[in-house]
A and B are shown apart, each in its own frame.
Chain A
Amino acid sequence: MYNFKINYGPTIDDHFCNGCGKCYKYCPMDIFGWDEEKQRPTVVYPGECWFCCFCEVMCPEVAIDVKFPLHHMIDFGVDPRKVTSLVDEFTEIEQSK
């Protein structure tokens, strides 16, 4: 069965997120929600992301990775097989310590 869930936009790594709420506060398109119980941001409207990536840059814990649609990667010459996320890179560095 195909999964038509939107697979682009920001993803939040719960392990690293410290709940500071900056992404929720500043996202220009207001696509994040806020989980009151866990005191953590959620991604509610990924389809409305315009990939500015401000959330990724402002996140103090490098817990956000913004994923692009396949369209944009192939068109611009990005090899989707080679894409790694900052979260992955950061995790690798952490683990190697």
Chain B
Amino acid sequence: MTNSLALIADEVVETDFLIVGGGLAGCMAAIEAKKKSNIDVVIMEKSSIEYGGTGVGLDGFHVEFPGIIEHPVPKDVDEAIAAKSLFGANRYKGLVSSKSAITELKNWIKPLAILEDIGVQIREDDGKMWGAQNYRGGTVHSRLKKDENGKPFEPNVVMYRGSDLKWKLAKAVYEAGVRVFNRTMITSIITKNGTAVGATALNSRTGKFVVFKSKAVLIATGRATRLNPYPWAPYPNNLFYSIGFPGNCGGGIIGAFRAGAKVANMECLWVYAVSKGINASGGAGGAGWHFRLLNSKGESLEDKYPELNIRIAGGNIPPVNFMYAPGMKEPTTEKDIIVSKTDSATDDDISATYYTAATEPPRTLKFLKMAGGLKDKRPAEGVPYPAAITISGIRRINEHAESTIGNLFAAGDCACHTAGSRALVWGYIVGSHVAEQIGSIQGQSLNGEQLRQVEQAKARVLAPLGRVTRNAVNPLELEDYVRTEIIKNYVGIKKIKARMERAKELLKRVKEEAVPLLVADGPHELMRAVEAQDIIDIAELYIDSSLLRTESRVAPMHYREDYPDQDSNWDKITITARKNEDSIEYLRESVE
């Protein structure tokens, strides 16, 4: 059997624990697994683990618990306490599990301690951790928010100096003896009797088709960033100019889905407030976290619509709520021009912005410099940008983040609501669990059925390479059609049944008529061709789930123009999807 596998694959790698994606979750899982036991760990990363992933610099530990530093999290934390966490079930109106928030709270300090161990500056010069109020109202930490009695809210996040966080994580991964395969992207997951036994991958430099055999697999490939275009950039930059790492196309989510794992909440769109032109996080770009968003009359939206403060309204990352004020039917963002006013900013606002910008990719600081500095620059327009799907992805069925496929785990943004610093927490949880359990997992041989899976994946992946056709389809052009035309123009933020059904038709035609004509000239372009197919499948799940959810919830996360109100029949209900032989089975399941 091994012989025939050797014939199909260009390279076969055997390991105990395969981690797909070397971002925050993947690196933390690897470090913890190696620390706990001497198992063999492999990371497969599409770019390089030093700079790959969205969290290249991360300056805040956003587990979000009031009094996170002052009084330690109680050991017997229950759902009522967890609900106090803004990231808990409360904020997303029952779309996410509060059990997950409890597990996060119980574990939050451990990955932070590991970060400190590997040299990240967690404490300030006085040796104390700095707690900040986050998401209290349209701002982060530059302006103190107070409750109705005039008492400042308790800090609920830990801020630290995280600009070199990813570099240090990568260094620790190498020092721990983890084998790293950079420039290697996942193309499928191999299963045997309902459990994961490995994965196939493509090296985008050498073109090698690699097969990994593994006892446990962690998917940590991030969110499907490449679902929506950045519409204010020229083609093809509109496909790559994103907030998060644009290599993330949902490959891990769709790989798990194709292998039979359940995915959930695929209709939920993450809309983000950015400064137009810079497309950086709201804090760094200045689109309303540290500066007030003003309408054309010069009114501050934060002051005009206090009821949309995230503490009251819940919802997306601020200040998205204010951009969509007074409501989704006639949002300010569509009828007016919103600017983030920086010229009257206080020194605290400015230093807070530079503090945030320092942990962004360097382009943010470069842009601020080119624009003449925050104080003197012309005001930039604040715009809502659909950055990815969110709180969606691989459905986890237990507190070890296992998916519906045995020994297949999911952490980070690809796993329903575990983004940012919570990626570190869930990476830690999975790494720790796998290290403990690996002894009881039998290594599996890849027999006829698994070889068939590998052959199928290889045939699909390599098909565009050197394909000869008079009507060649460029992967980027196809991706642009799917994202700009189908997703942005036919689905968009305000979803309507008839338009989404048209989108489904177009998507079907694209799959049948254009995908078979994809042509790639070399391994790099082959990577883009594989990504385009992943994006098409993610788009299908996004549209189907959006059609099924006949209500609006946490708008603009899911807003149906034909069902504009929240419907109690959908309370605590999630839409899951699973692939059967030739069809997709969608279910309404309860959120636990």
A residues with CB within 8 A of B: 8, 25-30, 44-45, 47-54, 56-57, 66, 68-69, 71-79, 82-83
Decide if A53 touches B240 in the complex (CB within 8 Å): no
Cα of A13 to Cα of B277 in the assembled complex, Å: 26
Interface centre among A51, A52, A54, A69 (most CB of B within 10 A): A51
Q: Which residues of A contact B245 (CB under 8 A)?
A: 28, 50
Minimum Cβ distance to chain A for residue B329 (Å): 27
Q: Are A75 and B277 in contact (CB under 8 A)?
A: yes
B234 close to A71 (CB less than 8 A): yes
A66, B239: Cα distance in complex, Å: 18
In the bound assembly, the distance between CA atoms of A56 and B51 in angstroms comes to: 13
A42 to chain B, nearest CB (A): 13
Q: What are the residues of chain A within 8 A of B240 when measuring CB–CB?
A: 29, 47-50
Q: Does B380 lie at the interface of the complex (its beta carbon under 8 Å from any beta carbon of A)?
A: yes
Complex alpha-carbon distance, A1 and B367, angstroms: 31
Q: How many residues of B contact A (CB 8 A)?
A: 43
Contacting residue for B277 out of A25, A53, A77, A83, CB 8 A: A77
Q: Chain B, 509-537, contact with A by CB distance < 8 Å: what is the 0/1 string?
A: 00000000000000010011000000000
Q: How far is the CA of A88 from the CA of B466 in the complex (A)?
A: 42
* B277 pairs with A29, CB closer than 8 A: no
- Contact of A78 (CB < 8 Å), options: B50, B371, B381: B371
Instruction: List 18 other contacts, CB 8 Å, given A30-B527, A51-B361, A79-B372.
Output: A26-B48, A26-B51, A28-B51, A29-B246, A30-B205, A47-B237, A48-B239, A48-B528, A50-B246, A52-B362, A53-B361, A54-B362, A69-B234, A73-B277, A75-B380, A76-B276, A77-B372, A83-B370
B278 touches A26 (CB 8 A): no
How distant is B370 from chain A, measured CB to nearest CB, in Å? Answer: 5
Whether A30 contacts B366 in the complex (CB less than 8 A), given A50-B240, A71-B234, A75-B276, comes out as no
A76 touches B367 (CB 8 A): yes
Chain B contact residues: helix, strand, loop or mixed: loop
Q: Which residues of A contact B100 (CB under 8 A)?
A: none
Segment 45-85 of B: residues with Cβ below 8 Å from A: 47-48, 50-52, 56
Contacting residues of chain B (212-266) with chain A, CB-CB under 8 angstroms: 232-234, 236-237, 239-242, 245-247
Most buried by B among A28, A53, A56: A28
A76 contacts across to B, CB distance below 8 A: 275-278, 367, 371, 377, 380
Residue of B nearest to A80 (CB): B370
A44 CB contacts on chain B under 8 angstroms: 524
Chain A nearest CB from B477 CB (Å) reads 11
- Complex Cα–Cα for A57 and B241 (A): 19
- Distance, CA A30 to CA B246, complexed state (A): 11
Residues of B within 8 A of A77 (CB): 277, 371-372, 377-380
Within 8 Å CB of A25, what residues of B? 48
Q: Are the C-beta atoms of A30 and B47 separated by less than 8 Å?
A: yes
Question: Is B8 interfacial (CB 8 A cutoff)?
Answer: no
Measured between C-beta atoms, what is the minimum distance from B30 to chain A in Å? 19
Distance from B437 Cβ to chain A, minimum over Cβ atoms (Å): 33
Asked if B277 contacts A66 (CB within 8 A), the reply is no
